Amino acid sequence: MERKLLTREELMQLPNISSEDKDLIEVQLMDVVGSSEEDPNNRLRMAARGFLARMFIDLEPDEQTRNELDAVVATFVDGWAWCKEHGQ
């Protein structure tokens, strides 16, 4: 099953996550990329999920919010992997 990647505009329209949080997530995930070279997809995904869990621990997200957080991570990881694969 192919996962649909969200555009930045779609990410910004997710109702349960503020744009400030999305920007912070993006910046923090970019930091993670630099330390995930040898096994980028697995390590990056684990680190990103760990970061999101710490960032939103007080939020106790409902299922919709968890799904939205997963979409943010999946979009970032898949986009980063595509860029690495295509030399971007």
- Give the H/E segment covering residue 71: helix 63-85
Domain that holds residue 67: 19-32+40-85
User: Does residue 12 sit within a domain?
Assistant: no
Is 54 domain-assigned? yes
Task: Classify residue 59: in a domain, yes or no.
Answer: yes
Domain membership flag for residue 49? yes
Is position 4 within any domain? no
Flag whether 7 is in a domain. no
Whole-model pTM over 0.85: no
Q: Is residue 68 part of a domain?
A: yes
**pLDDT by 10s per residue, the chain, length 88:** 455 555 666 666 767 677 777 777 777 666 655 555 556 566 666 666 666 666 665 556 677 777 777 777 777 777 777 777 777 5
Neighbours of 61 (CB within 10 A): 16
Tokens at residue 78, please?
């898949």
Inside any domain, residue 44: yes
**How many domains, in total, are found in the chain?**
1
